[in-house]
Every structure is written in structure tokens, then in C-alpha cells.
Structure 1
Amino acid sequence: MKRIVSKHPLAIRWFHWINFPVLAVMIWSGLLIYWANDVYRIGWGDTTILKFFPDSFNKALNLPYRLAEGMSFHFVFMWIFAINGILYFLYLLFSKEYKLIFPHKKALKESWQVLLHDLHLRKGLPPQKKYNAAQRIAYTGVIIMGFGSLITGLAIYKPVQFKTICFLLGGYEWARAEHFIITILFVLFFLVHIVQVVLAGWNNFRGMVAGFEVLPMPTPKEGSDDDSFETENTSQTNN
């Protein structure tokens, strides 16, 4: 016997699928802009361990001499990114969905247990509802990163008009560096998130596409918080 369990409401799915390609365009266009002044590296003095990004990388992705194109795309899509992010945050607050995403008091301890479980070093998982502790921290971190990218982006986009924000961020050069670091963190999150989606399988992916998962009927032994959450949501219709 199978049961259909409501997973993600329509609004969450829309915000997710709008944000994914928009953020991808933002990163791509950001690379076109960064090519014109690629100053960042990891190293000390005249010694460079890693340069962001070598000429071979720029040429492979056809980045050189496309600065105007990159700025055009970046400055248009940043408004879509900002509006979508603000609406998403407001939805979390007014729908009370934030209670399922924001970390709780034991999040750090439980996230470590989740990590050990994913590394096959621990058998059991701590009780969880819609998201486990590691996911709560990661998704909340993405919200903070989104806010940070917007603020730092405005500071380097209009450093005179937003001089107060630029000053609070440490000046133009610091704001640009912070914007770059946040972008790298977004890329890393993308990569980890995609791997996790693949490992979780089709049923989990379907939850973000169609809004529901198909799960086996619970056995009498199942009585965790997660089961009660799923049973409660089984009767709900997708928004």
C-alpha cells in the first residue's frame, strides 16, 4: 500500500523554480563582469595558490570582452532575484513556514548527527519534521546569503547613492570582495544541493515539482514526529 503525502506548497515551489534559473543567470553574468577586473586570489605576497579565475577558464567559457553584456543581464536579473527573494521571505513569515525552516535550539548538535549519518558513521537520525537540522541551517544560510548578495550588490552598483551601506560594508573594495565570496558560497551550495537531490532520488525531486511524495503506509512501530507530520499532511491538498 502506498500513500500520497503533501510535501511542498505551490508558493514554495514557485519561489524555488524561479530563483534557480535567475540565480544561475546572475552567477553567469557576474563572471562576465568579473573578467574585466579579476583581482582575487588565494596566496600571500607574490605567491599564488589559486587565482579566480585563470585565463584558460575565462576562454573556455567565452567570458572575455563581454563586460557590457554581463552588466546588462546582471542589472536586469538582480531585480527579479530581489523581488522573488523578498516575496519568499514574506511568505515564510505570514504562512508560518519559517517554523519548519529556521533552526531550532538543538540544530547544531543534530546537524552534526545528520552529517555523521550521511557519512555512514552513525546509524540513527535525530527526530525531524519536514527538514532535518542540517537542512534548516543550510536553507537559513541561503536566505542570509541572498540578503547579503543584495546589499553588497547595491553597494557596488551605486556606491554614491548607497554610500551609507557601502561604508557599513567597509567601503567599495570590501563590498566587492564580500559580494564575490557570497557568490562562491552560492556556487558551492548549488553543487552540494544537486548532489543531495540526486542521492535522495526521484520521490524527493517529485516533491519539489508536483508538491507531493509517494510513500509506503506507516507500520505500527512508526511513531516519530516526522510520521505525525506526514500523516497530518496526507489529507491536505496542495496549495
Structure 2
Amino acid sequence: MRKKRIHPWPVRLCHWVNLLVMIGMVMSGWGIYNADPIFNFTFPQNATLGGWLGGNIGWHLAVMWVLAANGLFYLLWGLFSGHFRQRFFPFTPASVWHDLVSALRFRLSHKSNQYNAVQKLMYVGVLLLGLLLVISGLSIWKPVQFSGLVYLMGGFTVARYVHFFAMSGIMLFVVVHVVMVLLVPKTLPGMITGGNAATKNAGESADD
């Protein structure tokens, strides 16, 4: 029997960097939104980052580069290491429905080194939302230079709506994620230390 990390160091590093970066992106983004709201509400000023529009934009762009580097590293590592294939796939509509019903009935078993179908769907979904957030964000930031992306988004105004709802979707994921951690707190230490999952040595039977 040998030990294997539940969460390899690249996952843990990107997770905690992403936490800090997303706080900065969201708070500065709320400040930018307040300068020209697309809905009939604004965010509290003390929940924004930057103090004024110029400061909001400055923080948003500065943190954006950290987010881009972190995201690119995670994407490349996840693809080439096989992490995405092993952790996020496969799943089917039937398996998602089965696990969702089991979770609502509090009958869904938790395995520290394996995601259930609902978790797989959520992680794949948040990655796609992140991609949509980047594309719409570039469309808003440089609408002339990225005119092709603006066209793909359906225009500058639509890109703003897409950006807002993609951000909201990611925030919803974060809320659900935090709730799940509170419900199963034993999962938190593993994201800090890596945790250990027992794996079989080559040649060992399943009953060893």
C-alpha cells in the first residue's frame, strides 16, 4: 500500500491564488459596474476595490494578469498531467441526476479522492464560465482591438451582460462550494496539506 496526494501541489497552489485573485477581480469589477450600471442597482461602495473608477480599473487590470497566469498554468497542467480527464470525466445526465437526488436526500457518499457526477459537472461548468468571462472581458476592455470577439458576443452591450452573468455564475459556484465545505469540513485540510489517499501498489489485489 502506498500513499498518494488527494490534491497535488499545483491544484492547491492555483486554488488559493485563485481565491485571492477572484476577490480582487470581483470587488474591483463591482466598482467599474457602479460607474455605469446595466441594472437598477449598484454594489455598496465599501464592497468595491480602488476607491474611484480609475482605481477600480487599475486594480482590475493588475489582478487580471495574475488571474491569467494562474489560469493558464492550471489549464496546461490539468491537460498534460491528465488531471482533468481523471477528476472531471466521465459523467452523464443520468449520473448527475442520480447523484443530485442522493445529495438532496443526504444519502450521497463522499470519497476524498473522487468527485461525484454533480461535482464534475460544476467544475467543468465553472471552467467554461471562466473562459466566457475572459472572452467577454477582452471584448469590453479592447472593443476595437478585439472587434472579432465583440462581434462573437453580439455587440459591446451584450458582452457586458455576458460578463456580468458569467461572473455571477462563478460567484454562485463559490457559494455552493463554501456551503459544501461547511457541510463536509473534513475536506478543507486536504486542500491545505494535500491529504493522503491510499492506493494499491502494482500487483496488489483489490482485497489487499
The residue aligned with 1:137 is: 121
Does the C-alpha gap of structure 1 residues 103 and 52 become closer, same or farther in structure 2, counting only changes over 3 Å?
Answer: farther
The residue aligned with 2:189 is: 206
The residue aligned with 1:30 is: 29
Q: Which runs of 5+ in 1 are unaligned?
A: 41-50, 214-229
CA distance in 1, matches of 2:22, 2:50: 21
Q: Which has the higher helix share?
A: 2
TM-score using structure 2 length: 0.86
Does the C-alpha gap of structure 1 residues 74 and 233 become closer, same or farther in structure 2, counting only changes over 3 Å?
Answer: farther
TM-score using structure 1 length: 0.76
CA distance in 1, matches of 2:125, 2:24: 21
CA RMSD in angstroms comes to: 2.7
Identity %: 33
Whichever residue aligns with residue 104 of structure 2, its letter is L
CA contact (8 A) 1:154 1:162 kept: yes
The residue aligned with 1:175 is: 159
For each residue in 1:100-135, what CA deviation from the matched residue of structure 2 results, as whole angstroms up to 9, or x when unmatched?
23332x4321222222122117x4659996211111
The residue aligned with 1:232 is: 199
The residue aligned with 2:76 is: 90
Does the C-alpha gap of structure 1 residues 64 and 36 become closer, same or farther in structure 2, counting only changes over 3 Å?
Answer: farther
Does the C-alpha gap of structure 1 residues 35 and 63 become closer, same or farther in structure 2, counting only changes over 3 Å?
Answer: farther
Q: Which has the larger radius of gyration?
A: 1
Offset, 1:6: 2.6
CA distance in 1, matches of 2:174, 2:154: 28
Q: Which runs of 5+ in 2 are unaligned?
A: 203-208
Q: Which has the higher strand share?
A: 1
Does the C-alpha gap of structure 1 residues 126 and 84 become closer, same or farther in structure 2, counting only changes over 3 Å?
Answer: closer
CA distance in 2, matches of 1:142, 1:100: 17
CA distance in 1, matches of 2:15, 2:47: 26
For 2:7, what is the secondary structure of its paired residue? coil
Whichever residue aligns with residue 191 of structure 2, its letter is M
For 1:146, what is the secondary structure of its paired residue? helix
